[in-house]
Amino acid sequence: MNNQEKNVDCIKIKNKEIILVGTAHISKESVELVEDVIARENPDTVGVELCEKRYTTILKKDKWEDTKITKIIKEGKTQLFLANLLIASFQKRIGKDLKIKPGAEMIQAIKAGEKASAQIALLDRDIQITLKRAWRKMKILEKAKLIYSLLTGLISPEKIEEELIEKIKEKDIMAQMMEEFGREVPSVKEVLINERDIYIANKILAAPGRKMVAVVGAGHIEGIKKYLNEEKDIEPLEEIPQGSRWVKYIAYIIPLVFLGIIIWGFINHKSVELTLTMLAYWFLINGVLSALGTMIAFGHPLTVLSAFIAAPFTSLNPTIGAGIVAGLVEAKLREPRVRDFQNLNEITNFSGFYKNRISRILLVAALANLGSSIGTFVALPYLISFI
């Protein structure tokens, strides 16, 4: 058995033979290993660690052209879409260093499976569900750590040697990495690794055929082997947890607190001038910080102005944010071109987010919202100081 074959496990459960192939998602050797194992084993079914959306993303390069950027902004999915782009960009950048397309081993598994006349089974949970579950379960500090790690990886990219990729693909080293990851961001590990181990294992058990080759990330192998012997109901893992109620309550409490401060200030001091001063500071603090966020995203000057004007009002409206206004204005003023959609999958560094009109619109929406939120929590205590 050569070094690559260390990442192949054969398991027999009842009348089914399962060959687990552990891969590094950006590795030439993994592509060759997948092709060799499928050709040799001639399975009835080939399972890949993909969901329907990621399967479409990998095989259909033009899928982004169907994206409705205004719909994403209006539905408040800006942050989720940006997270998708950040993760994809991080993988693209590593793949560029190693001169291999991320997910190439999955593409090869599908091609080899079709050549062997095997059925193709998608084993992974929907990526949107996974990201939403992870985000909802994460604590604020964990969110900050994750965003910081992704951003620093794009802003200050370091070359990744192929030998390192192959080294960390060894199962014992990968297990150590997963353990370390779990200590740093336990909520994310639970959703991205543990839950998906359960999900993939049960998808393997439910897949058709008596002989199956399942191509999965090496870090999932041990978990999948464990849960192959413990059938579970995976429907609860497809549910998206409700967000914290206190976040929703805050959105409605803020306008009440604001009105309370203004009314109390007027009643207590009997001064129209003080009331107008307090309103002016609310508008300035909220508007300036939202506009600043828009400027950091390199928004159009008119978009910056729209964020400045909208933020003081949207902060008092739980149903709309300054980011929605700024994002829609930016999309109108700098309408995305076909090539922006076509190049969306080619962003590999932080500057790429600013050069592409689609990702820049999303940045404008996200940072305008962030600036307005900071402005609200700065302005309220400042207004209280007047009374």
Could you give the maximum distance between any two Cα atoms of the chain, in Å? 87
How high is the pLDDT of residue 219?
83
Report the distance separating Cα 29 and Cα 48, nearest Å. Answer: 17
Per-residue pLDDT of 317-338, as tens digits, reads: 877 889 999 999 998 898 876 5
Pairing of strands 45-48, 211-217: parallel
The H-assigned helical ranges of the chain are 28-41, 52-59, 69-74, 78-97, 104-115, 127-137, 140-155, 162-168, 171-184, 186-189, 195-206, 221-227, 245-269, 272-296, 301-314, 322-333, 338-342, 350-355, 357-384
Instruction: For residue 215, give Cα distances in angstroms to 19, 120, 186, 200, 269.
Output: 8, 11, 25, 11, 71
How high is the pLDDT of residue 1?
43
Q: Rounded mean pLDDT of 377-383? A: 92
How high is the pLDDT of residue 147?
65
| Higher per-residue pLDDT: 282 or 249 | 282
Instruction: For residue 36, give Cα distances in angstroms to 5, 47, 48.
Output: 10, 15, 15
Q: DSSP string spanning 165-225?
A: HHHHTSHHHHHHHHHHHHHH-HHHHIIIIIHHHHHHHHHHHHSSSSEEEEEEEGGGHHHHH
Count CB-CB contacts under 10 A for residue 233: 8
Across the chain, mean pLDDT equals 80
Please state, for a pLDDT cut of 90, what percent of the chain lies above it: 36
How high is the pLDDT of residue 2?
47
**Does the pLDDT of residue 6 top 80, yes or no?**
no
**Does the pLDDT of residue 218 top 60, yes or no?**
yes
- With CA atoms as reference, report the closest residue to 137 among 185, 199, 178, 84: 185
How high is the pLDDT of residue 343?
63
How high is the pLDDT of residue 41?
94
How high is the pLDDT of residue 336?
77
Strand, helix or coil for residue 93: helix
Query: Ranked by mean pLDDT, which of 62-76, 149-163, 236-250, 301-315 comes out on top?
Result: 301-315
Q: Rounded mean pLDDT of 39-50? A: 94
**Does the pLDDT of residue 47 top 90, yes or no?**
yes
Report the distance separating Cα 78 and Cα 364, nearest Å. Answer: 10
Per-residue pLDDT of 123-133, as tens digits, reads: 999 888 888 88
**Does the pLDDT of residue 173 top 70, yes or no?**
no
How high is the pLDDT of residue 160?
52
Query: What type of residue is 148?
Result: Y
Per-residue pLDDT of 220-239, as tens digits, reads: 898 999 999 888 889 999 88
Of 123-127, 285-289, 310-314, the one with minimum mean pLDDT is: 123-127
Report the distance separating Cα 26 and Cα 58, nearest Å. Answer: 13
Question: Both tokens of residue 254?
Answer: 């803020």
How high is the pLDDT of residue 319?
78
How high is the pLDDT of residue 132?
81
Q: Rounded mean pLDDT of 64-90? A: 64
Q: Which residues pair with 48 in a beta bridge?
A: 122, 215
